[in-house]
Chains A and B, each alone.
Chain A
């Protein structure tokens, strides 16, 4: 398990963090490849169900960002 890498399910708001992620991408910034992005139309779309579903399906962590 030494080469284990966590999977972090990230719920990013289309207008905020998703934009930031996009900008980070076009700016060629380096960041860990552990995040799996789910784009949501707004952080208001977030529901506790999503977080639980992610954890249940084996995500190592959940990150919600607006």
Chain B
């Protein structure tokens, strides 16, 4: 999934996968922090978004 999205020109950091057990709340917080940081660094997603139809 990630590989093909990347091929189509989506930044790799826009999609994340992880495996967290229900007891690992610390890991959860860690991963959220990590992902949020990475995405902030990327900036808003401007390209893979469907634009609303423009009404003349």
In Å, the complex CA distance between A3 and B43 comes to 11
Within B2-56, the residues touching A (CB, 8 Å) are 5, 10, 13-29, 31-33, 35-36, 38-40, 42-45, 48-50
- Interface range on chain B: under 10, 10 to 19, 20 to 34, or 35 or more? 35 or more
Q: Report A23-65 residues with CB < 8 Å from chain B CB.
A: 23-24, 27, 29-32, 34-35, 48, 51, 55-65
Chain A residues touching B, range = 35 or more
Are A4 and B15 in contact, CB atoms less than 8 angstroms apart? no
Beta-carbon contact of A64 and B25 below 8 Å: no
CA distance A15 to B20 in the complex (A): 10
Q: Is B25 in contact with A62, judged by CB distance below 8 angstroms?
A: no
Assuming the A-B contacts A17-B20, A23-B22, are A59 and B29 also in contact, with contact meaning beta carbons closer than 8 angstroms in the complex? no
Determine if A35 and B36 form an interchain contact, defined as CB atoms under 8 angstroms apart: yes
A60 vs chain B, min Cβ distance (A):
5
Q: Interface of B with A (CB < 8 Å)?
A: 1, 5, 10, 13-29, 31-33, 35-36, 38-40, 42-45, 48-50
